[in-house]
Amino acid sequence: MNPEALSRKITSLIFEKKGFDVTLMEIYKVSTITDYFIVCTAASNTQVKAIADHIDHELRDEGIKVWHKEGYSTLSWVLLDYIDVVVHIFLPDTRSYYSLEKLWGDAPTTQLKDELE
């Protein structure tokens, strides 16, 4: 799956678990570390885990395995690295503190909405 299609798939999986404030960052335009960051917020650590597990399980069923994941010990920020797409699932305070959108402010960003809303 190409990075753009993978990012669309991941975004839909986030919305299935009611993740919100979803931002797609086009990192490839400013760096070679990855093509896209997907940043989202969850209301609780239980929801952070639910979103991360849902993405991991659904993509694994399609033969797409996560290359690296971290943050499961605290569940305030879980990172799923699919090499071309890196997913960041935050609790609100943690997202505000690390402010990835500001850190990577040169990257074009798009606020995404759940099409079912």
Beta-carbon contacts of residue 13 (< 8 Å; ≥ 6 apart): 51, 54, 55, 58, 59
Helix count (H) and strand count (E) of the chain?
4, 6
Domain ranges of the chain: 3-112
pLDDT in tens, 18-29: 999 999 999 999
How far apart CA 41 and CA 63 sit, in angstroms, is: 26
Tell the CATH superfamily of the 3-112 domain. Answer: Beta Polymerase, domain 2 (3.30.460.10)
37-53: pLDDT as tens digits: 999 999 999 999 999 99
41 close to 52: Cβ distance less than 8 angstroms: no
- Phi–psi pair at 45, nearest 5 degrees: -65, -30
Angle among Cα 92, 96, 102 to the nearest 5 degrees reads 140
* pTM given for the model: 0.94
